[in-house]
Amino acid sequence: MLKKANIAVLVSGGGTNLEALLKAQEEGRIPHGQIVLVCASNETAYALTRAANHGVPGVAIPRKQMSQEAFETTLSLKLAEYKIDVIILAGFLSILSESFVRQWPDRILNVHPSLIPSFCGKGMYGLKVHEAALAKGVKVTGATVHLVNEIPDGGRILLQKAVDILPGDTAETLQCRVMEQAEWVLLPQAAEMLCEQISES
């Protein structure tokens, strides 16, 4: 019997990356892991509806209504309750504290919508990343899945995939193409890589 690593996905908004992970799981592309919990940093996140549609428990921990310490304490209790092995940040907009991250060495994955080390770090998220790439005039961008450490977007890179920037691209069209061609492809692959390491250790 294959021992599966328990995955929690942390989200803040619509949950398109979560949807990609849930579909990958249902198609058997994450055989060493199973998503058992979705945590949203606000109670109106559509990602919670996506989780429910796939039969996965979802919980809201409203970040804006509590201190960082209280938020992370509440989150830690939920992760313990569900016996979580791996945390995946999928459009999660809160930066986790150093003390929290250190409790999960090489167990937290993040997807970032650029080819790190370009257009990354504190304050670089969502459309801002794509706006920066277009302003710089680069011809190629992409996405990166990396392990999370105490430095924003500073952890070890697991996977990267390049995406061409096309004439006439806006930040919105580029964001969609990077998600479809890179983020949704890489995230399930990286999840399986990490879960396989854990289940065999």
Residue tagged active-site, from 32, 112, 130, 146: 112
Backbone angles phi and psi of 141, in degrees to 5 = -130, -150
Q: Is 146 a catalytic residue?
A: no
Q: Residue 77 burial (CB < 10 Å; 0-12/13-18/19+)?
A: exposed
Please tell me the distance from the alpha carbon of residue 101 to that of residue 154, in angstroms, as a whole number: 12
The angle, 0 to 180 degrees and rounded to 10, between the axes of the packed helices 127-136 and 171-178 is 110
Give the angle 125-135-114 at the CA atoms, nearest 5°: 40
Which residues does the annotation mark as catalytic?
A: 112
